[in-house]
Each structure stands twice: as C-alpha cells, then as structure tokens.
C-alpha cells in the first residue's frame, strides 16, 4: 500500500499544504500572505489570522490537486517550529484535528531540517548522500550544519545576530524597498555593479554576523544622502549589487572554511536566500558538489514538510496529540 503524507506549513506568512505519495510530490499549494507588504515585515497577529482563514481551502486544494481522498492519507506532518507561535498554532491545531478525526499518525517536523530535506523528494532533482554539509539561509536562520542522517543535524556555526534574509530585508527597507526585499534586491543587483564596499565582520569559527553590515549601510546612506538627497534613487542598482555582494561574501567565506574543516564533499542549500542568484553563482565556483533547491522549493513550502514527515514516519518517529508548537527549537 502506498504511503501518502499530507504536509502542512504555517510557520511564518505562507499557508501551505502538500501531498506526497511514496516520496513523490503529487501537489504543492502555497497561499502567500500579501497583507504584510505595507508594514515592512511580518505582523504576527495578521499572519495567524490569515492562516486560520486559508488553511482549510489550502489543504482541500492540495488533496484535490493530488486526486487523493483524505480518508486515504497515511499520516499528517506539520511544522512544529521554529517560527511565529500564533502561526505555528494554526498548523498544529489543524494537523492534530486531522490526525484525531482520521485516526492517522501525526508527525512533527522541524522547519529548518525540512528546508534541507526537501532535496530528498523523489522527483526530477538530484538527491545528496549522507553525510553532507548544509547551509540554511532564511529570514530567521543562518546556520552551517553537518547532516549525518535525516534525524541527525549538528550545528557547526550560526549567526550571532541577524539572519542572512533579515540582512537583505532590513537593508532593502533602508533603500525604500517593500518587504520582503531579498528577491527585489536580487533582481536589481543584476542590473548594477558592486562598487560600494562595507565593513566586514570578524566573528570567530564558523559563526556569522550581519548586524555590522546593517549599521555600515545605514551610516553610509546617511552620509551620502547629506551630499545628494537623491543618492539612493540615483544608485539603487549599484547599492543592491554592493549589499548583495557583501552578504554573499560573508556566507561564502564561512562555507569555504567549513568545507576545509569538515572534509565533507557535498554542500546542500535550503531556505529563502538560497534563491539568491549572487549566492548561487559564488557557491558554484567553490570546490564542492553543490545541491541547490529548485526555486519553488527555496522559500517556505509544504513539500519540504511532507518529505521530512515521510522520512520521520519511515523511521518510526511518530508524535502524539500532546505535540505542541515551539517558537524556538534547536535543529
């Protein structure tokens, strides 16, 4: 009998559901919340309300697209954390209700583990072998991890302040770009040159820091705008190219050190910032076998929750109805 997993993702501002049949993706539905665009960041209360409004339709759409009746589901997997508590609660309550009503197992999934395990979907894209080096780069996380198997993740280094995605979003906001600024900066960067330089962080080991870059950009813009009030408008593309180059260089420097220190031959990327074309290009030049997720699987999606849930289910890691959402959760 086929193993059919419904994956549910509600950790931040995307309401998503996916159906996976024997490791193959049958449906992957994401409803993005545009409510936050005008606020320069995700408003937690708006996000959880929007999840409540959308989750039933999103799950039903994923099942109908997959041509699966809910009675045929083997298990339901959901994002337990990390993320916004109110948003996580919606997925948690929905998944537990389904598990109870259909009498099927519940699988609790770690969002950042799922960003890396998305590469194991049995579809057209290549799958790495364990062990591998993972780089998670999202709006809330930046970590280098050693992955020995689907359940064993060891943090080698992580950001001491902002995440890489946050660095894009916050500096983008200084440039007057809407949230999330990362994808827009990526597009504008391609039209400019990295002619401006900013201070480099000096963080030991494999850890990262982006807050110094943020401050450096802030002071640089203030100074230049005192001389030319139109400075941002006149230099937008070059500014985006320069900030992107700075973020990419912080990431790539530590990735190279991690490759040398661990001797791991494969680098697997996950998280929204792994869509960044500057980062992709710089990593392609590194001496490592590179696994980049296809673009629809870089930002938050439920396909990654379904595959992580499938791997946990096969390993017998079933949760129960006392499973609680966790805003903070170690990988």
**To the nearest whole angstrom, how small is the minimum distance from the Cβ of residue 237 to Zn ion?**
28
Binding residues for Zn ion, rule CB under 5 A, total 2
**To the nearest whole angstrom, how small is the minimum distance from the Cβ of residue 92 to ligand KG4?**
17
Sequence-ordered list of residues with C-beta below 8 angstroms from that of 152, at least 6 positions apart, any chain: none
13 belongs to the binding site for Zn ion (CB under 5 A): no
9 belongs to the binding site for Zn ion (CB under 5 A): no
User: Do residues 244 and 179 lie in contact, with contact meaning Cβ atoms separated by under 8 Å?
Assistant: no
Point out which span in 59-67, 131-139, 143-151, 273-281 binds Zn ion (CB under 5 A): 131-139
Q: Which of 9, 13, 300, 319 binds Zn ion (CB under 5 A)?
A: 300
- 186 or 319: CB nearest ligand KG4: 186
Task: Quote the CA–CA distance of 83 and 34 in Å, as a whole number.
Answer: 18
Q: Which does 168 bind (CB under 5 to 8 A by kind): ligand KG4, Zn ion, none?
A: ligand KG4
User: Do residues 76 and 107 lie in contact, with contact meaning Cβ atoms separated by under 8 Å?
Assistant: yes
192 belongs to the binding site for ligand KG4 (CB under 6 A): no
Q: Which does 183 bind (CB under 5 to 8 A by kind): ligand KG4, Zn ion, none?
A: ligand KG4
**To the nearest whole angstrom, how small is the minimum distance from the Cβ of residue 327 to Zn ion?**
14
Point out which span in 102-110, 177-185, 255-263, 303-311 binds ligand KG4 (CB under 6 A): 177-185
273 belongs to the binding site for ligand KG4 (CB under 6 A): yes
Point out which span in 31-39, 133-141, 207-215, 313-321 binds Zn ion (CB under 5 A): 133-141
Beta-ladder partners of 4 = 21
Point out which span in 44-52, 135-143, 216-224, 225-233 binds Zn ion (CB under 5 A): 135-143
138 belongs to the binding site for ligand KG4 (CB under 6 A): yes
Q: Which of 153, 168, 208, 310 binds ligand KG4 (CB under 6 A)?
A: 168
Task: Give the tokens for residue 233.
Answer: 């408008």
138 belongs to the binding site for Zn ion (CB under 5 A): yes
300 belongs to the binding site for ligand KG4 (CB under 6 A): yes
18 belongs to the binding site for ligand KG4 (CB under 6 A): no
Q: Which of 28, 74, 80, 299 binds ligand KG4 (CB under 6 A)?
A: 299
Q: Which does 44 bind (CB under 5 to 8 A by kind): ligand KG4, Zn ion, none?
A: none
Binding residues for ligand KG4, rule CB under 6 A, total 19
Please list every residue from 16 through 75 that binds Zn ion, using CB under 5 A: none
Burial class (CB in 10 A: 0-12, 13-18, 19+), 181: buried
- Contact footprint for ligand KG4 (CB under 6 A): 12, 138-140, 165, 168-169, 180-183, 186, 271-273, 275-276, 299-300
- Contact footprint for Zn ion (CB under 5 A): 138, 300
């Amino acid at each position: 009998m086929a193993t059919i997993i419904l994956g549910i993702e509600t950790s931040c501002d995307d309401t998503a559901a996916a159906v996976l049949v024997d490791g193959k993706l049958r449906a992957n539905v994401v409803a993005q919340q545009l409510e936050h665009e005008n606020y320069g960041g995700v408003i937690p209360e708006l996000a959880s309300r929007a999840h409540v409004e959308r989750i039933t339709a999103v799950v039903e759409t994923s099942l109908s697209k997959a041509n699966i009746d809910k009675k045929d589901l083997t298990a339901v997997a959901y994002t337990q954390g990390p993320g916004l508590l109110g948003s996580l609660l919606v997925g948690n309550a929905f998944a537990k209700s389904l598990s109870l009503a259909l009498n099927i197992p519940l699988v609790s999934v770690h969002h950042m583990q799922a960003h890396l395990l998305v590469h194991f979907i049995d579809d057209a894209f290549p799958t790495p072998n364990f062990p591998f080096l993972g780089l998670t780069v999202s709006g809330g996380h930046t970590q280098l991890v050693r992955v020995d198997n689907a359940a064993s993740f060891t943090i080698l280094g992580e950001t001491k302040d902002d995440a890489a995605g946050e660095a894009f979003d916050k500096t983008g906001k200084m440039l007057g770009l809407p949230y999330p600024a990362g994808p827009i900066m990526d597009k504008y960067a391609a039209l400019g040159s990295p002619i401006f330089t900013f201070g480099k962080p000096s963080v030991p080991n494999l850890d990262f820091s982006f807050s110094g870059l943020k401050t450096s950009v802030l002071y640089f813009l203030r100074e230049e705008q005192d001389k030319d009030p139109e400075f941002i408008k006149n230099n937008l593309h070059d500014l985006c190219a320069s900030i992107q180059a700075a973020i990419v260089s912080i990431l790539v420097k530590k990735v190279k050190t991690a490759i040398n220190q661990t001797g791991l031959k494969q680098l697997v990327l996950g998280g929204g910032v792994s869509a960044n074309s500057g980062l992709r290009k710089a990593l392609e030049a590194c001496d490592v076998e590179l696994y980049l997720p296809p673009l629809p699987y870089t930002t938050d999606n439920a396909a990654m929750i379904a595959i992580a849930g499938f791997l946990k289910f096969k390993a017998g890691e079933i949760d129960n109805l006392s499973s609680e959402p966790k805003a903070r959760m170690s990988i």
